[in-house]
Amino acid sequence: MTNPIIRAFFLGRATAEVLYEEIEHQLTDTLSNVGKFDAEQREKLRQFTNQVMERADTEAARNPQGYSSAPSTASNSADLQETIDELRAEIAQLRSALQNYRSHSS
């Protein structure tokens, strides 16, 4: 290779091939990292969702009627008032039944 033009051609060609391979390698690594990041974020979101669902289920198990300890809306307040009224009626029925029982057993 005594001709400098031919030598420059092959040097340019080799440079382009090496750069192409390096870019391909870097692009592959970058896409791999993006895919890994995406998978990790999806897993974290899945875990977060599971934690939220578990806590909601636990809270629902503690309070099977679905009433919160501090109603925040008028609908919940009306439901709570209805429940209180039903409980009062049941208490009145129980008192009446207890009085009948006491009067018959004396």
Full DSSP string of the chain: ---HHHHHHHHHHHHHHHHHHHHHHHHHHHHHHHHHHHHHHHHHHHHHHHHHHHHHHHHHHHSTT---SS--SHHHHHHHHHHHHHHHHHHHHHHHHHHHHHHHH-
Please say if the pLDDT value at position 65 is more than 80: no
Residue 42 has pLDDT above 80, yes or no: yes
- Report the pLDDT value the prediction gives residue 105, as an integer from 0 to 100: 77
Q: How far apart are CA 106 and CA 103, in angstroms?
A: 6
Answer for the pair 68, 76: CB distance below 8 angstroms, yes or no.
yes
Closest to 51 measured CA to CA, from 70, 59, 65: 59
Q: What is the mean pLDDT of residues 66-73?
A: 54
